[in-house]
Amino acid sequence: MRLASICFLCLAINVSCAAAFAEEAQPAPAFASERDEKGLIEAIRGSADHGLDPSWYHIEEIERLGAEIKSVSGEDRARIAAERDALMSDAFLKLASHLDAGVENPYFSNANQRRPEPGSDLKALLAQAVERHDVKGTLEGLAPQTAEYRQLMAALKKTRKWAAETVWPKVPEKGARKIESGQRDPRIPAVRARLEAEGFLKRPRISGEASLSGAVLQEDLYDDELVQAVLGFQEKYGLGADGVIGRWTLAAMNVEPPFRLCQIKVNLDRLRALKHVITTERYAMVNVPDFSLTIYEGGAPIKQMKVITGMLDRKSPLMSDNIRFIVFSPKWHVPRSIAVKDKLPKIKKDPSYIRKMGMRLFTVGETGMEEVEPESIDWESVDSSSFSYRLVQEARDDNALGRVKFMFPNRHDVYLHDTPTKSLFDSGVRVFSSGCIRISDPIWFAEYLLKDKDGWGRERIDSAMKRGSPMDVSLTEPMPIHILYVTARADANGDPIFRHDVYGFDRALSKKLCAD
pLDDT in tens, 271-322: 998 988 898 999 999 999 999 999 999 989 999 999 999 999 999 999 999 9
**H or E element at residue 165:** helix 147-165
Predicted pLDDT of residue 27: 59
What's the whole-model pTM score?
0.85
pLDDT of residue 377: 92
Cα–Cα distance measured from residue 172 to residue 149, given in angstroms and rounded to the nearest whole number:
35
Tell me the backbone φ, ψ of residue 295, rounded to 5 degrees: -100, 130
Integer distance in angstroms from the first to the last C-alpha of the chain?
Answer: 35
- The Cα–Cα gap between 205 and 111 comes to 50
Q: pLDDT band at residue 18, thresholds of 50, 70 and 90?
A: very low
Sheet-wide strand order for 332-333: 332-333, 389-393, 359-365, 368-372
Taking Cα atoms as reference points, which of 328, 321, 353 lies closest to residue 339?
Answer: 353
Helix (H, G, I), strand (E, B) or coil at 307: strand
What mean pLDDT is predicted for residues 316-329?
A: 95
- Interacting residues of 112 by C-beta distance below 8 A, sequence separation 6+: 317
pLDDT in tens, 473-504: 999 999 999 999 999 999 999 999 999 999 99
- pLDDT (tens digit, 9 = 90+) per residue, 431-440? 999 999 999 9
Q: What is the pLDDT of residue 514?
A: 85
pLDDT digits (tens, 9 = 90+) for 38-82: 999 999 999 999 999 999 999 999 999 999 988 888 888 889 999
Closest by CA to 152, choosing from 265, 73, 230, is 265
Written as one letter, the residue type at 256 is: E
Q: What gap in Å lies between CA 4 and CA 127, rounded to an integer? A: 8
Contact (CB, 8 A) for 159 and 264: yes
**Across 217-226, 385-394, 460-469, least confident range:** 217-226
Q: What is the DSSP letter of 468?
A: S
Instruction: Provide the β-strand partners of residue 291.
Output: none
Report the pLDDT value the prediction gives residue 216, as an integer from 0 to 100: 52
User: Residue 514 pairs with which residues in a beta bridge?
Assistant: none
Over residues 361-415, the pLDDT tens digits come to 999 877 778 999 998 999 999 998 999 999 999 999 999 999 999 999 998 999 9
Residue 312 has phi, psi (to 5 degrees) of -60, -30
Tell me which amino acid residue 329 is. S
Using only C-alpha atoms, the chain has a radius of gyration, in whole angstroms, of: 29
User: Which residues does 276 contact at the CB level (< 8 Å), separation at least 6?
Assistant: 101, 116, 118, 119
Asked if 76 and 65 touch (Cβ cutoff 8 Å), the reply is no
* CB 191 within 8 Å of CB 172: no
User: How would DSSP label each residue in 18-50?
Assistant: HHHHHTS-----S--SHHHHHHHHHHHHHGGGG
Do 500 and 487 touch, CB atoms closer than 8 A?
yes
What does the alpha-carbon distance between residue 153 and residue 150 come to, in Å, rounded to a whole number? 5
Percentage, residues of the chain above pLDDT 70? 88
Q: Are 318 and 483 in contact (CB under 8 A)?
A: yes
The pLDDT of residue 359 is 95
Average pLDDT over residues 202-211: 56
Please give the pLDDT value at position 198: 87
Mean pLDDT, range 238-248, rounded to an integer: 90
| pLDDT score of 507 more than 50 | yes
* Domain residue extents for the chain: 2-143, 303-483
Cα–Cα dist 322/70, whole Å = 58
Concatenated DSSP letters of 395-456: SSTT-TTTTEEEE---TT---EE--S-GGGGGSSS-EEESSSEEES-HHHHHHHHTTTSTT-
Rounded mean pLDDT of 110-130?
Answer: 71
3-state SS, residue 301? strand
